[in-house]
Amino acid sequence: MTNPEKNTSIPVSLTRFAWISIAAAVITIALKLNAYWLTNSVGLLSDALESFVNLLTAIVALVALQISVRPPDDDFTFGYSKVEFFSSGFEGAMILIAAGSIAFAAVERLLHPQPIEKIGLGLLISGSASLVNLVVSLMLARVGKRYDSITLQADARHLMADVITTGGVIVGVGLVSVTRVVVLDPIVAILVAINILFTGVRLLQQSYRGLMDMSLPEPELEKIQGILKTYEAQGIKFHAIRSRSAAARKFLSMHILVPGAWSVHQGHKIAEEIENHIRQEFSQIAIVTHVEPIEDPTSFEDSRLENE
């Protein structure tokens, strides 16, 4: 039997956090470009380039969140929440492009070193931009985890990577100021490119796993198994338990084996009870159950995946 999902749509109010991310990106771009123009540091330029990526991905995140809240329709009967994985994948791809651009600029400066000017003021401005990103990143991470929003969590990780990047740039440019070894500036920029490269790869992996309908995380499956075990004492068994996630939405199907002497009403009642028990732990989950007689050998023939 099939039951409707409970609270399956991502709250529309989440889009305001995407707007906050966009505003933060605009502010940090202005600050970091100013820091670059003051200092002529390729390290600070690489930091500014990453902020342009932040702006683009924040816009894509806004669009994804707006689409994801659409209710199911005839074309997309399971809803639109999986669009968040496309947003996460796009963000990962843009980060890789940014890493390549930064590396290119850094190698050029490594071959043709140039002096850095007004380092103190430039680092102060860059540090202010990093503080903005830190505050927004922590906020997005908290909200994204609370509502299982892949888009906001990806944006939060990207911004936190930006914070770490800026910290490394500040340290590197500071070393240039102390040692007067200008070659340290492009070296820091190359390290920045490598750092954000790993961030991009992780986001692409997350997107791939979601688009391939990977099952729910192991801790969540263990919680579901724990719930089902409480019913086994009543002579009930379960098989063909399958799950997948589409960003905030979760999907679970299973076969429930009950005594054949039970009435249809009894089987329906226990299935409803089990489904409601699971929904108490997972608010955004769609559950499909199939009741079968435990004495019938054919009930176990479909216990494995179809292609096994």
**Residue 170 sits in the same domain as residue 258:** no
**Residue 38 sits in the same domain as residue 23:** yes
**Residue 62 sits in the same domain as residue 183:** yes
Contact 71, 7 (CB under 8 A): no
CATH of the domain at 231: 3.30.70.1350
**Residue 249 sits in the same domain as residue 153:** no
Q: Which of the listed residues 156, 187, 211 is the one where a domain comes to its end?
A: 211
Residue 12: predicted pLDDT:
44
Residue 304: predicted pLDDT:
56
**Residue 260 is assigned to a structural domain of this protein:** yes
**Residue 250 sits in the same domain as residue 207:** no
**Residue 228 sits in the same domain as residue 204:** no
Strand 237-246: give its sheet, edge to edge: 237-246, 249-258, 285-293
| Predicted TM-score (pTM) of this structure | 0.64
Q: How far apart are CA 31 and CA 125, in angstroms?
A: 6
Q: How far apart are CA 180 and CA 276, in angstroms?
A: 67
Residues of the chain with pLDDT under 70: 1-12, 247-248, 302-308
pLDDT of 214-223, one tens digit each? 888 888 899 9
Q: Enter the tokens of residue 152.
A: 């906001």
Residue 303: predicted pLDDT:
57
**Residue 151 sits in the same domain as residue 32:** yes
Q: How far apart are CA 22 and CA 83, in angstroms?
A: 19
Range of the domain at 247: 218-300
Residue 302: predicted pLDDT:
65
Q: Which of the listed residues 186, 211, 236 is the one where a domain comes to its end?
A: 211
The count of domains in the chain is 2
Q: Enter the tokens of residue 189.
A: 């920029």
pLDDT of 237-287, one tens digit each? 998 889 887 766 789 999 999 998 899 999 999 999 999 999 998 877 889
**Residue 152 sits in the same domain as residue 233:** no
**Residue 69 sits in the same domain as residue 147:** yes
CA distances to 43, 271, 278, 285 from 235, in Å:
66, 14, 19, 26
**Residue 229 sits in the same domain as residue 204:** no
Task: Say which residues have a Cβ less than 8 Å from residue 268's Cβ, sequence separation at least 6.
Answer: 1, 291
